Amino acid sequence: MSLFGTNAGFGTGGTGVFGNATTDSHNPMKDVEVTSPPDDSISCLAFSPPTMPGNFLIGGSWANDVRCWEVQDNGQTVPKAQQMHTGPVLDACWSDDGSKVFTASCDKTAKMWDLNSNQAMQIAQHDGPIKAIHWIKAPNYSCIMTGSWDKTLKFWDTRSPNPMMSLQMPERCYCADVVYPMAVVATAERGLIVYQLENQPSEFRRIDSPLKHQHRCVAIFKDKQNKPTGFALGSIEGRVAIHYINPPNPAKDNFTFKCHRSNGTNTTTPQDIYAVNAISFHPVHGTLATVGSDGRFSFWDKDARTKLKTSEQLDQPITACCFNHNGNIFAYASSYDWSKGHEYYNPQKKNYIFLRNAAEELKPRNKK
Amino acid sequence: MGRKKKKQMKPWCWYCNRDFDDEKILIQHQKAKHFKCHICHKKLYTGPGLAIHCMQVHKETIDGVPNAIPGRTDIELEIYGMEGIPEKDMEERRRVLEQKNQETQKKKQNQDDSDEYDDEDEPGPSFQQPAAGQPQAGYIPSMSQPGMPPGSGAPGIPPGSYSGHSPYRMIPMGGMLPPGPGMPPMMAGVPPGMPPPVAHRPGITHMAQVPPAANMLTRPAVPAATVPSAQPDVTKPLFPIAGQSQQTVSGSPHPPPSTSSDPSKPTFPAYTQATVAVVSPNSGSSTVSKPPSTVTSKPATLTTSSATSKLIHPDEDISLEELRAQLPRYQRSVPRQAQSTATAPSMGPVGGMISPQQPGMRHPLPGQYGGPPQGMPGYMPGGMPPYGQAPPVVPPGFQGAPPRPPMGMRPPVMSPGGRY
């Protein structure tokens, strides 16, 4: 097993709170705390695909590392391995067979980490930090897609130093999601582009943003036939847009909803509006989770257009979230996201990753 | 809506300017959003009603209507649905709606197939839309103002002049519109430097002095369909002077006469479309986004229009990650491209960055991107030698590959020892 050197509590399993018995607002939901969390803000979380037995969680952080934990059925988390970049890790993803983890970093490179050998090698290079990385598995090809602040979207066969394809984007890539055969990229200046991945990746459509503020996160959802049919887009203005690619009635089917805002119903106090940091869809129920700078997570049913649950407020923003392959576990990371600027950054403050049982809470509400 | 007089327009809420299909829904909305007691959530019927309730039941005063836009928070105005709205606000609303209608008409007439062009067409065709959409009479006035500044006027004039000329002019105009982007430019091309064509047909004769205009007039009239194709022909010969500028300009997006950015676009048909592509990212978001994109540095200061609210986000219009990545503490290792990759990966054995050359390399990249990288793929599959190879450009087949498991670098096979 490996060296997550800096953090104590290596083997303590991490069930329950780490000894902080007082109602510490760092874990008001009393969820399972992952052991040996990273030393700086967590930028991304991803669970292993169903092809692998068990649940493995990877998390990339601003401490330049990406860590892997095994999540056991009894809730215990065991740190397994770690890899480093030379710059903060911004995104990470798994290959479809679960044997490799791909990581993207501010150091403008992306790496492929073979978990069996615990070796990582560079597989991509950009002219700017790589913000999004996704594995694409098509019937006739497999590759890695990287979106960067250098305004390009590149596709890499991991065996070659040169990209298979490089597509120019109007602006810097801020977030992306891939569900074959669809890929969505949201860029700076509210750009929104949908790509189709059949045969080879190509731009499918540029969409006028349904949101009026900076794009922050995007997640594709599927229809009842398990085909990608639309996406949820979150912005810095506490709002998520649900957008279908080809809806029968766009005006009615597409909508936006507000979230991650402080209660400003009182006329006098201004309402605080927080950024939506990440969106994840439950793999089974199709309901979604959003996490925000306000330190809360919420579950929503987009078909019934209702909110299912909102958590208590954590003392730090929640920066990343993900579901495991069967939707039983919801992981979310509590760390500073810079939403209040550098003044509020405290390098000493501990960062957390929590695991929550998600089997029940994300069941869709029956539409009335 | 049964009553003719009261509201020719759809019901709208005076407090927040939202539109509704039905007055009933409007009233429900008002009760839920504006007349709801924040203490006990009881829904009242009017603003004063709410104020009185709060006073009597909770002994609390409220100073404004909840969720109302600034300027419309008056708690003493007795408004119920559409009743009680002050006359001047009604008129203002009608005016705003009319303007909006005009815009949507323009938009509709210029629907292109490609989404990208939608918004860019707006500024262009916009000036002709009204021409096409509205009765000619509407344009006569515009025609009569030859002096209109090229900027906004120019676009307006030519189309106006056309439509104003004669009834059937309108048709060709309309016919031309679908080609849209092509059209406006043509017409816009006329004004710069030209006395507005004005007049009617007869004007054509003395159009001699403004031959371009004349050509433009006649051409569009004839085969609407050929307009787009005619465009290239039209514009070039049409404006021997302007034409040149246009041609030269066709490459560059700068509009000669007009000063204002948007209206001037149409004046350069030739490259309007070129500029369109260039501008698309921003104008794509056009109306809506203008505030955020132009106000590049201040997303946080965009307050929502309802009760004051505050975006918890730094002022700069860049993502939080970009902002954070600018900090020196996160830049430490960035410059080291090639070398670092070699060392970094094998965390275990190697234990951190072996940076033989790193210190030298440290040109701090102030911005995150844009840099030095010269596309060094820096594929160092193997740890040691690559260092040396790093600087050299594009290591052919990323060095090390051959010796290593050729098949896509399947590390598993490789001996673990601090390879990378």
pTM of the model: 0.55
Which of A287, A204, A285 has its CA nearest to residue A240? A287
Report which residue type is found at A167. Answer: L
- CB contact under 8 Å between A159 and B407, yes or no, is yes
Q: Please state the separation of Cα A30 from the chain's center in Å.
A: 22
What's the mean pLDDT in A180-196? 96
> Which are the contacts of A339, defined by CB distance < 8 A and separation ≥ 6?
A274, A275, A293, A317, B312, B313, B314, B320
Could you tell me which residue, A69 or B111, shows the higher pLDDT?
Answer: A69
What's the mean pLDDT in A28-53? 96
Report which residue type is found at B161. Answer: S
Contact B373/A at CB under 8 A: yes
Our CA-based measurement puts residue B77 at a distance from the nearest CA of chain A, in whole angstroms, of 17
- CB contact under 8 Å between B347 and A84, yes or no, is yes
In a structure prediction context, what are the per-residue pLDDT tens digits for chain B, which is 420 residues long?
A: 555 554 457 888 999 888 888 889 999 999 998 999 988 889 998 888 999 999 888 888 888 888 888 888 888 888 998 888 888 888 888 888 888 888 777 666 654 443 333 333 334 333 444 444 444 444 344 444 444 444 444 444 444 444 444 444 444 444 444 444 444 444 444 444 444 444 444 444 444 444 444 444 444 444 444 444 444 444 444 333 333 444 443 444 444 443 444 443 334 334 333 333 333 333 333 333 333 333 344 444 444 444 567 899 998 889 999 999 999 989 866 554 444 444 444 444 433 443 344 444 444 444 443 334 343 433 333 333 333 333 444 334 333 334 444 444 444 444 444 443
Structure confidence at residue A264 (pLDDT): 60
Extents of the domains making up chain A: 32-361
Tokens 């066709």: give the residue: B250
Burial string for B261-282 (b: 16+ CB within 10 Å, else e) reads: ebbbbbbbbbbbbebbeebbbb
What three-state secondary structure class fits A172?
coil
Contact A264/B at CB under 8 A: yes
CA distance A290 to A323: 12
- Strand-pairing partners, residue A146, are A133, A154
Omega of the bond leading into A181 within 30 degrees of 0 (cis): yes
Indicate the helix (H) or strand (E) that contains B252: none
Contact A12/B at CB under 8 A: no
Chain B residue whose CA is closest to A99: B412
User: Which tokens sit at A297?
Assistant: 């997570």
Share of chain A above pLDDT 90, in %: 88
User: Which tokens sit at B43?
Assistant: 């829904």
Structure confidence at residue B112 (pLDDT): 42
Write out chain A residues lying below 8 Å of B73, CB-based: 267
Average pLDDT, chain B: 55
Structure confidence at residue A34 (pLDDT): 96
Write out chain B residues lying below 8 Å of A170, CB-based: 280-281, 284
Contact B344/A at CB under 8 A: yes
A259 with A241: CB under 8 angstroms?
no
CATH number of the A32-361 domain: 2.130.10.10
CA distance B284 to A190: 9
Contact A203/B at CB under 8 A: no
Half-sphere exposure (Cβ direction) of A98: Cα atoms closer than 13 Å: 15
- CB contact under 8 Å between A122 and B341, yes or no, is yes
CA distance B367 to B123: 34
pLDDT in tens, A306-328: 999 999 999 999 999 999 999 99
Contact A337/B at CB under 8 A: yes
- CB contact under 8 Å between A86 and B341, yes or no, is yes
